[in-house]
């Protein structure tokens, strides 16, 4: 049994405890150094195991319930869940079972349950691999599923769940004149890679020929259509994919983000790609200036990113989203004051909830006599007509392009300011 594999599994269980027990996002755990002591390969394995377990949580629980008289303590339950997912996805039973028994056996609090661990996982190893593919696609937690069904219908939500369960391929935005690693050229201009492996090892990464950016996330800048020499404000810029798009178009970009730590990632990405922008750490509600164009990627629930972040539906419960919706409205109002007459502003959120997208624009339009929606801005390659909403925005969902790996959920609207 590999000590390395056991260390990765132990760390994955810790991540699951934090996400399912403490309501922390994976990104928060990583930023706090949860995996810093592991070598790079084991860090990657721990993350992968945790995410795969979250994607298959419903199936794992159904299998385990057949062999448990009562729900065990969270850490033990998560070890069983992780083991079940590994076993049902083809990992050798000997290695998985022994590793999990060792992890629980060494626990002062739960060591007495190593026999339970051994017995249950051996039963799962015997029956799980055959039962697993016959089970339904895991459903989203009810707090998120119910409003999504109300908004988009059960068939669409089933497609979103299928996309989340499958996970997301890797999408790249490529600098003009540069080559990307071999992949599928998407109709919107992104390049999609399946099973890409370590990103930093791909050809063109070190030389800054491209950056990672979901195909849906690349569309707001295409819709804004920045021109060389224009002054453009990128609000909530981190980690910087949209800033890079603006800079490569020749715009004079100000990249603004409230987090100093996150804005450092923008600096790093600009340096790697050889692009330039003015980078500012600050509160968008306090920012001053006048700009030809503005990109407002407003803070949101991030529910559109569930393909890549299956931890989000389990770490959150929707209770904080009301404050986010209010913040979006205030940020749009302030951003409008920073836009020059005759300018344009793209409002977008990586959310599947209409209150964070369509409703924001519907409510804003009557408040501003100099605001109008520019439907013609959506006339770009790859946009399908049924993605365009009644008020003139663009609604993207994970169940679109489902046979090709889906896309992030986004809402995007281009707003023109009267001259």
Supply the residues annotated as catalytic. Answer: 350
Who contacts 393 (Cβ-Cβ below 8 Å, separation ≥6)? 357, 358, 361, 373, 411, 412, 413
Backbone dihedral angles phi then psi of residue 25, each to the nearest 5 degrees? -75, 155
Tell me which residue of 168, 89, 80 sits closest to 133, measured CA to CA: 89
For residues 119 and 101, what is the distance between their CA atoms, to the nearest angstrom?
A: 10
Q: Are strands 170-174 and 210-212 parallel, antiparallel or unpaired?
A: antiparallel
CA angle at residue 109 from 105 to 113, to 5 degrees? 45
Q: What is the CA radius of gyration of the chain?
A: 23
Query: Comparing C-alpha atoms, which of 138, 350, 327 is closest to residue 241?
Result: 350
Contacts by residues 326-329 (CB-CB < 8 Å, ≥ 24 positions apart) = 327/298, 327/299, 328/298, 328/299, 328/300, 328/356, 328/360, 329/360, 329/363, 329/364
> How far is the CA of 331 from the CAs of 285, 336, 372, in angstroms?
6, 8, 17
Q: Sort 303 into a burial class: Cβ within 10 Å, 0-12 / 13-18 / 19+.
A: buried
């Amino acid at each position: 049994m590999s000590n390395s594999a056991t260390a990765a599994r132990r760390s994955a269980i810790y991540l699951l405890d934090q996400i399912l027990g403490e309501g922390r996002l994976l990104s928060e755990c990583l930023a706090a150094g949860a995996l810093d002591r592991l070598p790079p390969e084991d860090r990657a394995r721990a993350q992968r195991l945790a995410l795969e377990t979250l994607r298959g949580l419903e199936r794992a629980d159904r299998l385990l319930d057949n062999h448990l008289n009562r729900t065990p303590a969270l850490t033990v339950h998560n070890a069983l869940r992780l083991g079940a997912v590994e076993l049902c996805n083809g990992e050798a039973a000997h290695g998985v079972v022994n590793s999990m028994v060792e992890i629980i056996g060494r626990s002062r609090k739960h060591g007495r349950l190593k026999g339970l661990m051994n017995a249950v996982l051996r039963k799962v190893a015997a029956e799980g691999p055959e039962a697993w593919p016959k089970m339904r696609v895991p459903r989203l937690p009810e707090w998120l599923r119910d409003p999504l069904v109300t908004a988009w219908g059960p068939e669409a939500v089933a497609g979103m769940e299928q996309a989340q369960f499958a996970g997301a391929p890797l999408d790249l935005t490529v600098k003009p004149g540069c080559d990307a690693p071999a992949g599928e050229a998407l109709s919107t201009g992104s390049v999609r890679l399946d099973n890409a492996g370590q990103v930093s090892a791909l050809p063109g990464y070190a030389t800054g020929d491209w950056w990672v950016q979901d195909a849906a996330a690349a569309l707001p800048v295409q819709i804004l259509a920045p021109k060389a020499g224009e002054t453009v404000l990128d609000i909530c810029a981190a980690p910087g994919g949209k800033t890079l798009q603006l800079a490569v178009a020749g715009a004079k970009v100000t990249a603004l983000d409230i987090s100093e730590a996150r804005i450092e990632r923008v600096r790093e990405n600009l340096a790697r790609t050889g692009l330039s922008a003015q980078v500012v750490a600050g509160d968008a509600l306090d920012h001053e200036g006048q700009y030809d164009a503005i990109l407002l990627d407003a803070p949101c629930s991030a529910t559109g990113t569930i393909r890549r972040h299956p931890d989000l539906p389990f770490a959150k419960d929707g209770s904080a989203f009301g404050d986010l919706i209010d913040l979006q409205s205030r940020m749009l109002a302030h951003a409008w004051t920073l836009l020059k007459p005759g300018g344009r502003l793209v409002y977008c959120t990586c959310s599947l909830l209409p209150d964070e997208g369509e409703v924001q624009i519907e409510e804003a339009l009557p408040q501003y006599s100099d605001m109008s929606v520019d439907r013609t801005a959506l006339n770009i390659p790859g946009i399908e007509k049924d993605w365009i909403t009644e008020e003139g925005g663009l609604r993207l969902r994970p169940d679109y392009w489902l046979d090709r790996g889906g896309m992030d959920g986004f809402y995007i609207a281009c707003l023109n300011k009267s001259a």
